[in-house]
Every structure is written in structure tokens, then in C-alpha cells.
């Protein structure tokens, strides 16, 4: 069979089967438009107007593409909405990324860690270094694994204790008995690697000094009648809650009961104490805070230190909250129709949030509070590719545990059947491909950005030099775990 015949049969197999459809009855057929002379004039006028608008839009689009092909100071987008409502479409320029200092340069931060599970039910945590050597294998029988934000520690949180291990070689560092014991709802790590904080199911926040081993615990207020739309049964404790450190690693914020009434609390973290500095509850004492209609909330304190950004996975809304007053600044509807799919991806400089839904991509510009897109994928490196995306695996139903952005914040990596595509921030133009013959799932970027690790569709791990070169195949079948969202 020739290639043409094979393609012919394949296409027939893919699109040859007509779908089963029901149609409205004949009586429901809309009436044919009756054209009066007046209507004809109106139609002519409308056609002219549409033609002029289309011509203008075409010019805008053309300009847009040209600018994206060779961005200099900014990438022009054709139009945008701001503040959640349609506007007069001001021209918006996406900001160029602000290169971030690369701080995670320790050897431990370059080791990729994966959680694996065998068919016999046993599980392991496996560390692989940039040479493709397996540097650690640890039995994983209980708890949930996390990685500290500086990349140096692996932390396993179990119901009655917390254990830390070196990310360099898996050697055990310390064990912390937990008091109170029980479930943990969410975990966050300070950017400097010193603090680990978590919210317990029994409504408290606990902070551990990973240097000294000291722990500090304080109760968290939670509304026993908090709304938890989408959940059934008896809800006890702050089921919907999350926490996030500021970049200075000295301030911690908790968000509880976001289904309503949302409670936002600020703490300061010092070696000698965990102190609550302010709290606000939506609707109480005039506090104005947004509401998220379902599970899933990803948060980030912006580099200015005074603004909290959050993405409500359920609604697809982006919130901007002033941390000085604990008050909502904006609640923008992004129109993300499947927000659980690989969203959000915050850029390290805090300027943009990429939101992917299926093969379409939107970008939220924090400065202008604009939602741009949707746009589609580029096909080749010669494509202009605004907000473009190469659809890899469908990952519905969760917030991506890793953020495949280079540590300096200038490139975003995407994996799929064409290896790893390297996309330029902010326009996501395809600027290169690494190991294009590989069929890949998920990518993790080493702390210094020099090594990419990717899980393959054939249950193996590939270690790919970011500068290019042959990939190293490692027989490890697992998923990455990291804490970039923390």
C-alpha cells in the first residue's frame, strides 16, 4: 500500500463516519428573510460598514503578525478587554519579560524528582541528575511529596510527621513530629527555601523553619457555614483554603472559604514568631473581596509585594487584591472555558498569566488587566505565532504541578509529539524544537535552566540539554513533583 493510499484510508477512518444528529422539525425552520427595499438599503449600508471594519481589522491583524514576528520593545496585540467588560479595544502591547536572576544554581536544584508507582502497588520517589544518572530511589509509602521552592529539599508530609530529604541524593535530613496530626489541605514554601507552611484540616496554619526545625502554629478562623458549591456531604474545617508567601519570604497570606464569605489573612513570619497582622472577611466591615464558585485557586504575590493575584480555576476569573488593605482591586473574567487545563502559568516576572484551553491560548496582562486572545498554535518556526500553542497532551482537571518556564522568565517549554517546543515569552512564537522526534508528556526545567527533563509517552524519562544535543534516555516511569505554585 502506498503512502497516499495509507493516508487515504486513515483520513477515511478518522472523518468518514457521519455523526448521529437530531434535527429540528421542518416546521421549526426559520422563515426566509423577507427583503424590502428599505431592508436592502440597510443591508447594503451594513455590508459597507462591515467591509470597512473588516479591512481595518485585517490591517490590524497584519500589523499584529508582523510585529510578533520580530518584536522589539513590545508585542502589539490587536485588541483587548479590560476590567471584565468590553471596551473600545485600545491597542495593547504585551510587555517584554523582565529577565529574572537565576538563583537555584545548587547541584540539588538541578536534580529532577519523579513519583513512580509499580503495578504491585509499591511506589518510589526517584531523583535523576543532568547526566541522566539515577541519584536516589526512596520508598514512598505514605504522605504527599513536595519540593522546596529553592529546589534543595524533598518534603514528605504524612498525617503524623513530616520528613525532609536532600534533593541531591535523597539522604534523610530531618523528621518533624506533627502536632496536631491529621490531614493537610495545602502547602507553601518560601522563595528563600527557609520556611514551609501548611494549612491543617483542623483549621490552623503551621510554619516550619527548615533550617532550625522550629515550628509555629496558630489557629485559623473559618466559617462553619461557608459555602462550598459543588461539594456534597458534611463539610468540616476550611476545606477550600490555600496559602502563599510573598517574595520577601517574610509575609504569608491565607485564603479560606473562597466559595464565600472569603477570608483573607496576613501573617508575618520571623524566626521568633508567626504573627497575624490583618484579616478581612468578605461582606464584614465593608470588606470587598471576590468569590470563586468552585474548587481550585492558584495564587501568586506579585513582585511589587503589595498585590496578590489569584486564578479561580472554576470560574476562570483572575483576581487582583491589594495586600495593604486586603481589598479587591479587580475581578476579571477571562472567559477560560476549561480553566483546569494547564492554567494558569504565571511568568516569573509577574507580568503575564497564560491560560490555555484546548488548543487555544489567552494571556492576561497584569499591568493593563487585559485579556488577550484566544489565539491558535504556530505550525513552524517561521510562523508568527501570537499566543500560539502546540497542543500536547490533554491535561484536564488539575492545575499544572510544574511550570515549564525558564528560570530567567524568557522562554516557555511545551512538550508533545514533536519533542519540546521552545516558545518565546511574551508572544509565544515558536523559536526552536528540542528532540523533535520524541513523543513527550510533561516537562520540568532544572533550577539553572540548563537541563530539561521530559516524561515520554513510552514510560521513560528523557534528559535534554537546553542548549541542544542528544537526549539521554532514563528508564524511569513517573510524574514530576514540584512546588512552583507554592
Partner 1 sequence: MLRDVREEAASGVGRSTRLPWRELYDAHAAELVGYLWKLTGDREAATDLMQDTFTAGMRDEAALREPAKARPWLFRIATRLAIKRLRRARLIAFVPFAGTERSVEGAPDVESLAVREAMGSISADQAAALVLHYAHGFTRAEIAELVGRSEETVKSRLARGRRAFLAAYDRQGGRHE
Within 405-424, the residues that bind partner 1 by CB under 8 A are 416-418
Of 28 and 467, which CB lies nearer to partner 1 in the complex structure? Answer: 28
Q: How far is the CB of 229 from partner 1 (least distance, A)?
A: 12
Of 55 and 275, which CB lies nearer to partner 1 in the complex structure? Answer: 55
483 touches 147 (CB < 8 A): yes
298 touches 485 (CB < 8 A): yes
* Sequence-separated (6 or more) residues with CB below 8 Å from residue 115: 123, 124, 125, 140, 145, 478, 479, 481
387 touches 427 (CB < 8 A): yes
Q: How far is the CB of 406 from partner 1 (least distance, A)?
A: 23
Q: Binders of partner 1: how many residues, by CB under 8 A? A: 74
Exactly one of 97, 145, 170, 316 binds partner 1 (CB under 8 A); that residue is: 316
- Residue 180: is the preceding peptide bond cis (ω within 30°)? yes
195 touches 211 (CB < 8 A): no
Exactly one of 12, 91, 172, 174 binds partner 1 (CB under 8 A); that residue is: 12
What is the three-class DSSP state of 76? strand
What is the three-class DSSP state of 154? strand
- CA–CA distance from 4 to each of 10, 17, 63, 250 (Å)? 10, 20, 39, 64
Q: Does 390 bind partner 1 (CB under 8 A)?
A: yes
Q: Does 85 bind partner 1 (CB under 8 A)?
A: yes
The CA distance from 114 to 188, in Å, is: 19
Exactly one of 1, 2, 5, 31 binds partner 1 (CB under 8 A); that residue is: 31
Q: Does 396 bind partner 1 (CB under 8 A)?
A: yes
Exactly one of 68, 81, 110, 216 binds partner 1 (CB under 8 A); that residue is: 81
Which residues inside 434-473 make contact with partner 1, applying CB under 8 A?
A: none
Q: Would you give the binding string for partner 1 spanning residues 46-65, x where CB under 8 A is met? A: --------x--xx--x--x-
Q: Does 334 bind partner 1 (CB under 8 A)?
A: yes
Exactly one of 19, 121, 233, 475 binds partner 1 (CB under 8 A); that residue is: 19
The CA distance from 353 to 342, in Å, is: 11
Exactly one of 17, 101, 121, 467 binds partner 1 (CB under 8 A); that residue is: 17
Chain position carrying cell 494571556: 363
Of 44 and 87, which CB lies nearer to partner 1 in the complex structure? Answer: 87
What is the three-class DSSP state of 42? helix
215 touches 176 (CB < 8 A): yes
Q: What angle do CA 417, 116, 314 make, to 5 degrees?
A: 65
Exactly one of 87, 171, 270, 277 binds partner 1 (CB under 8 A); that residue is: 87
First to last CA, the chain: 54
Exactly one of 182, 273, 306, 397 binds partner 1 (CB under 8 A); that residue is: 397
The CA distance from 95 to 470, in Å, is: 34
Which residues inside 346-385 make contact with partner 1, applying CB under 8 A?
A: 358-359, 362, 371-377, 379
The CA distance from 358 to 391, in Å, is: 7
Q: Does 426 bind partner 1 (CB under 8 A)?
A: no
Q: How far is the CB of 275 from partner 1 (least distance, A)?
A: 38
Count CB atoms within 10 A of the CB of residue 279.
17
Which residues inside 165-204 make contact with partner 1, applying CB under 8 A?
A: none
Of 29 and 118, which CB lies nearer to partner 1 in the complex structure? Answer: 29
Which residues inside 89-128 make contact with partner 1, applying CB under 8 A?
A: 89
Q: Would you give the binding string for partner 1 spanning residues 285-314, x where CB under 8 A is met? A: ---------x-------------------x
- CA–CA distance from 156 to each of 18, 123, 125, 231, 243 (Å)? 51, 13, 10, 28, 18
Q: Does 263 bind partner 1 (CB under 8 A)?
A: no
The residues that bridge with 49 in the sheet, in sequence order, are none
Of 245 and 364, which CB lies nearer to partner 1 in the complex structure? Answer: 364
Q: How far is the CB of 410 from partner 1 (least distance, A)?
A: 24
Amino acid at each position: 500500500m502506498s503512502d497516499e493510499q495509507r493516508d487515504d484510508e486513515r483520513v477515511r477512518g478518522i472523518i468518514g463516519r457521519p455523526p448521529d444528529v437530531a434535527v429540528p422539525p421542518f416546521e421549526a425552520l426559520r422563515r426566509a428573510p423577507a427583503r424590502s427595499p428599505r431592508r436592502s438599503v440597510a443591508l447594503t449600508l451594513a455590508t459597507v460598514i462591515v467591509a470597512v471594519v473588516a479591512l481595518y481589522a485585517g490591517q490590524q491583524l497584519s500589523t499584529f503578525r508582523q510585529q510578533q514576528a520580530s518584536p522589539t520593545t513590545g508585542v502589539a496585540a490587536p485588541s483587548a478587554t479590560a476590567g471584565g467588560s468590553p471596551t473600545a479595544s485600545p491597542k495593547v502591547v504585551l510587555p517584554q519579560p523582565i529577565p529574572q536572576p537565576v538563583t537555584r544554581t545548587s547541584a540539588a536544584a538541578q536534580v529532577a524528582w519523579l513519583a513512580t508507582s509499580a503495578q504491585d502497588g509499591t511506589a518510589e520517589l526517584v531523583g535523576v541528575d543532568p547526566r541522566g544518572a539515577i541519584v536516589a530511589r526512596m520508598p514512598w509509602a505514605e504522605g504527599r511529596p513536595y519540593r522546596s521552592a529553592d529546589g534543595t529539599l524533598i518534603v514528605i508530609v504524612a498525617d503524623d510527621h513530616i520528613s525532609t530529604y536532600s534533593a541531591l541524593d535523597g539522604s534523610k535530613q530531618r523528621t518533624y513530629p506533627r502536632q496536631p496530626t491529621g490531614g493537610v489541605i495545602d502547602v507553601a514554601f518560601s522563595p528563600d527555601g527557609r520556611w514551609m507552611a501548611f494549612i491543617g484540616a483542623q483549621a490552623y496554619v503551621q510554619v516550619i523553619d527548615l533550617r532550625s526545625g522550629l515550628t509555629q502554629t496558630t489557629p485559623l478562623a473559618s466559617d462553619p457555614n461557608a459555602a462550598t458549591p459543588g461539594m456534597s456531604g458534611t463539610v468540616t474545617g476550611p476545606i477550600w483554603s490555600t496559602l502563599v508567601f510573598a517574595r520577601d519570604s517574610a509575609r504569608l497570606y491565607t485564603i479560606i472559604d473562597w466559595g464565600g464569605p472569603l477570608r483573607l489573612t496576613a501573617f508575618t513570619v520571623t524566626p521568633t514568631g508567626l504573627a497575624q497582622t490583618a484579616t478581612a472577611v468578605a461582606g464584614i466591615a465593608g470588606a470587598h473581596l471576590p468569590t470563586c464558585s468552585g474548587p481550585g485557586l492558584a495564587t501568586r504575590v506579585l513582585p511589587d509585594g503589595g498585590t496578590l493575584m489569584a486564578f479561580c480555576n472554576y470560574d476562570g476569573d483572575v483576581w487582583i487584591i491589594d495586600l495593604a488593605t486586603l481589598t479587591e482591586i479587580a475581578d476579571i473574567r477571562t472567559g477560560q472555558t476549561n480553566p483546569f487545563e494547564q492554567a494558569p502559568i504565571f511568568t516569573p516576572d509577574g507580568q503575564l498569566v497564560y491560560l490555555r484551553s484546548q488548543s487555544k491560548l489567552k494571556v492576561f496582562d497584569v499591568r493593563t488587566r487585559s485579556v488577550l486572545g484566544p489565539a491558535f498554535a504556530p505550525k513552524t518556526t517561521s510562523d508568527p505565532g501570537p499566543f500560539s500553542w502546540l497542543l500536547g497532551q490533554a491535561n484536564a482537571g488539575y492545575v499544572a504541578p510544574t511550570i515549564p518556564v525558564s528560570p530567567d522568565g524568557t522562554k516557555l517549554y511545551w512538550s508533545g509529539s514533536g519533542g519540546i517546543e521552545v516558545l518565546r515569552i511574551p508572544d509565544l512564537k515558536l523559536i526552536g524544537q528540542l528532540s523533535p522526534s520524541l513523543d513527550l508528556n510533561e516537562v520540568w526545567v532544572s533550577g539553572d535552566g540548563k537541563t530539561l527533563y521530559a516524561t515520554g509517552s513510552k514510560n521513560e524519562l528523557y534528559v535534554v540539554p537546553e542548549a541542544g544535543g542528544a537526549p539521554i534516555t532514563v528508564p524511569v516511569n513517573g510524574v514530576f513533583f514540584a512546588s512552583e505554585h507554592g
